[in-house]
Structure 1
Amino acid sequence: MTEALTIMVIDDSSTIRRSAEIFLSDAGYQVLLADDGFDALAKLADHRPALVFCDIVMPRLDGYRTCALIRQNTQFHATPVVMLSSKDGLFDRARGAMAGSAACLAKPFTRDGMLAAVRAHTTSSPD
């Protein structure tokens, strides 16, 4: 078995972070949690996640700006970011795409939905 991929989940809701952590860790992934964009950016370089799930509505630094900052960083420009949105609207998807997100996952998400997003945007093989 290869080393488990690290997945970062950025959300200001402890309930959402905990649900995502359970879904992902039960599926064999390493999970890195951040409660806002600044926390995530501080942890990014040390852990180098294969995929980032990022809530849109967060205090201090919203998900769009967090995603854009991740994508602008030369070390992480290829890291897929999947936006987490409580509103599954066209505007959120379009604005997320403009910020550089790979996809948008509606909240509340299911285990299967989250794992499908991971499979769609990562690969187990090394670069």
Structure 2
Amino acid sequence: MEKPLALKVMVIDDSKTIRRTAELLLEHAGCRVITAIDGFDALAKIVDERPDIIFIDVMMPRLDGYQTCALLKSNSAFSAIAVVMLSSRDGLFDKARGRSVGSDQFLTKPFSKQELLAAIGAHVPGFAA
């Protein structure tokens, strides 16, 4: 019997600690994790990897999370990929801005393994942690 392909999850964050934490939590749940340090780094990897879901930090240098999400959602090749915004700020403005650029969900840092897996379960059909 063939083993199903691992779910591909991308984590985009300029914090090495956040990337590593998310990577460990998600790999433990059986996901294949692709990391990127900012929006520019991510865009090149998204073309090659085609992740099933993307977790993206709001505040990053060069190309921030809002700009990266807007670019993805405006491109028909990638618009169906679920995007979950990550931010240490929990303000209404941040959440509204995330929705306005097409994000599917907004998680506040620090996040838990349960929150990450629940977000994947909510946006990726057939995913069971």
For the aligned pair, the TM-score class normalised by the smaller chain equals: over 0.9
RMSD of Structure 2 on Structure 1 (CA): 1.0
Q: CA deviation at 1:124?
A: 3.1
Identity %: 57
Take 1:92 and 1:37, find their aligned partners in 2: how far apart are those partners?
18
Question: SS of 1:31's equivalent?
Answer: strand
CA contact (8 A) 1:56 1:62 kept: yes
Task: Point out where structure 2 has 5 or more consecutive residues left out of the alignment.
Answer: none
CA contact (8 A) 1:70 1:76 kept: yes
Amino acid at match of 1:73: N
Amino acid at match of 2:66: Y
CA contact (8 A) 1:83 1:103 kept: yes
Give TM-score, length-normalised by structure 2: 0.94
Equivalent residue number for residue 49 of structure 1:
51
Structural mapping, 1:53-92, within 5 Å: 53-92=55-94
Deviations 1:43-64 (A, max 9, x none): 0111000000000000001110
Task: Point out where structure 1 has 5 or more consecutive residues left out of the alignment.
Answer: none
> After the TM superposition, which segments of 4 or more aligned residues of structure 1 sit over 3 Å from their partners?
none
Give TM-score, length-normalised by structure 1: 0.95
Question: SS of 2:114's equivalent?
Answer: helix
